[in-house]
Every structure is written in C-alpha cells, then in structure tokens.
C-alpha cells in the first residue's frame, strides 16, 4: 500500500513537532525539577526524529542500523521496567505503563529491519512505504498485529484524555464553600485568644499550600502528553499498515 508523497511531508512535519515537544518537555521538567516520564519523553524524541527521516531522506540523521540499536536498547529498558513494575513501584521519572512503549520500540526495530535493502541505504525514505516488486517485505502478520496494537493504544489514550477532561469539568462545576472553624470566645476574652480566633477563622484557600510551579506549566500538562502519544501512534500505525 503506497501513500501520496504529500502525506509523507505531513507526517514528517508532525513527527518533527512531536520530537521537539518531547525534547522541550524533557528539558523543562529537568529545569523545574518536576517528576515526569523522562524515559517516555526521551523515547518519543528519538522516535519522532527517526520517523521524520524515514519519511523524508533529507531529514535522516543516522543510518537505520544505528536507529535499530537505539530502539533495541529501548525495548530492553521498557521490558525491564515492565518486570520491575510487577514487583515494586518505579521511580518518579519512569513511566507508569511501560508495555506500550516496549511495543513501540519493537515496531520501530521491525520497520527499520523489514524495509527492503535498497531503501535502507543512505537514501532511505518512506514517501509511499511501498516496496519495489520482488523486494522482501518482512512479516506482514507481525505488521498487522503491531498496527492493531497501535489502534488499541490510540483508543486507550483517547479514553484517558476524555476521563481527565470529565474530571476537570466536574471539579470546576463543584461549588467550593470555605469551612470555618467554630471557636467560642468568652465575652471578656484576653487579647491573645482573640488573635488566635481570628487566625483560625480563615478560608481553606489560605491554608492550602501553593502548587509547585511546574504543576501549571503548559509543557508538562498530561493533556499535551496524551495528544503527542496519539499523534505518534497514528503515524506509526500508518507506517505499519503501508508495509502489509
């Protein structure tokens, strides 16, 4: 299945933006000392860069063999993270759901290895992803399984995004009434008791600690991260489908 050349440019631009967002998110979280999924951001920065070069050869930075080694290493990392998550809680900067990223690494290795040899040279490109007649096409059944997984991951991520939106809407719609402490003060109370009562009689908003500056940073919001995952999965699903 070959796609139009203009669509390759659209997907390449989307991957450049996704890689740039992942890299900026990684840098911002480090500067603000915020706990984010650093391994996921690093993976998506590499994946976006690699896939942009697979669509347009002029954007290719590394040979396919080097990319395959990087994503193979990533597969080992996320497989170990998945095993660790079954026993103990991961570190704050590790992703909570490593299995989808493990599959992403496997899909990247598959696409890099299964391409015809002629397309894996210095001029490797995937404008249509259509192999030449008689060229090896890898394992179409595996490509189908991986594409179906990407579709399921898109649906799951979209559901998570909708759940966050519903929770935010419900939280905004819930009226918040300040609770005041009931303190009985005698008529002739000493001045220090009066001061204590006025200090206690304050709204909850004054007592609540201020959020961490990183909590409201646009780059670190879960909604933007979910959008980038959806874009990444759609692009990878398209690449896998065109390799049937």
pLDDT in tens, 37-51: 888 999 999 999 999
pLDDT of residue 188: 47
- Contacts (Cβ under 8 Å, ≥6 apart) of 27: none
Q: How many alpha carbons lie under 13 Å from residue 123 in its C-beta half-sphere? A: 1
Domain ranges for the chain:
5-171+210-241
**Could you tell me if 124 and 64 are in contact, meaning their C-beta atoms sit under 8 angstroms apart?**
yes
> Residue 22 pLDDT > 90, yes or no?
yes
Which alpha helices (DSSP H) does the chain contain, by range? 5-31, 38-55, 64-87, 98-114, 140-173, 191-200, 204-207, 222-241
Highest mean pLDDT, choosing among 58-67, 120-129, 168-177, 204-213: 58-67
**Could you tell me if 95 and 80 are in contact, meaning their C-beta atoms sit under 8 angstroms apart?**
no
Could you give the CA distance from residue 22 to residue 226 in angstroms, rounded to a whole number?
A: 11
pLDDT of residue 103: 96
pLDDT of residue 62: 93
pLDDT of residue 202: 44
Name the band, by pLDDT with cuts 50, 70 and 90, for residue 14. very high
Computed from CA positions of residues 113, 119, 120, 124, in that sequence, does the dihedral angle turn out positive or negative? Answer: negative
> Residue 186 pLDDT > 70, yes or no?
no
pLDDT of residue 140: 86
Burial class (CB in 10 A: 0-12, 13-18, 19+), 83: exposed
pLDDT of residue 214: 45
Instruction: Output 142 or 177, whichever has higher pLDDT.
Output: 142
Q: What percent of the chain has pLDDT above 90?
A: 44
Average pLDDT for the chain: 77
Name the band, by pLDDT with cuts 50, 70 and 90, for residue 215. very low
pLDDT of residue 219: 75
Nearest to 161 by CA among 98, 95, 222, 233: 222
Listed as own residue / partner, the contacts of 24-31 with beta carbons closer than 8 Å and 24 or more positions apart are: 24/219, 25/219, 25/220, 25/224, 25/225, 28/214, 28/217, 28/219, 28/220, 29/93, 29/214, 29/220
Instruction: Output 118 or 137, whichever has higher pLDDT.
Output: 137
């Amino acid at each position: 299945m070959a796609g139009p050349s203009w669509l390759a440019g659209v997907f390449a631009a989307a991957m450049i933006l996704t890689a740039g967002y992942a890299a900026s998110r990684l840098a911002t979280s480090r500067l603000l000392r915020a706990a984010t999924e650093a391994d996921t951001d690093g993976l998506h920065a590499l994946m976006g860069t690699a896939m942009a070069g697979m669509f347009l050869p002029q954007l290719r930075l590394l040979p396919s063999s080097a990319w395959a080694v990087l994503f193979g290493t990533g597969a080992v990392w996320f497989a170990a993270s998945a095993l660790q998550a079954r026993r103990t809680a991961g570190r704050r900067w590790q992703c909570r759901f490593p299995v989808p990223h493990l599959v992403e690494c496997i899909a990247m290795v598959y696409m890099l290895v299964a391409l015809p040899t002629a397309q894996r040279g210095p001029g490797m490109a995937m404008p249509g992803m259509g192999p030449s007649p008689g060229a090896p096409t890898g394992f179409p059944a595996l490509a189908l399984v991986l594409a179906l997984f990407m579709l399921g991951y898109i649906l799951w991520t979209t559901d998570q995004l909708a759940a966050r939106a519903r929770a935010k809407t419900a939280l905004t719609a819930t009226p918040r009434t300040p609770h005041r402490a009931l303190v009985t003060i005698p008529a002739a109370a000493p001045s220090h008791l009066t001061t204590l009562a006025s200090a206690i009689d304050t709204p909850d908003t004054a007592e609540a600690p201020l959020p961490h500056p990183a909590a409201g940073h646009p780059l670190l919001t879960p909604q933007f991260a979910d959008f980038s995952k959806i874009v990444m999965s759609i692009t990878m699903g398209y690449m896998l489908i065109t390799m049937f």
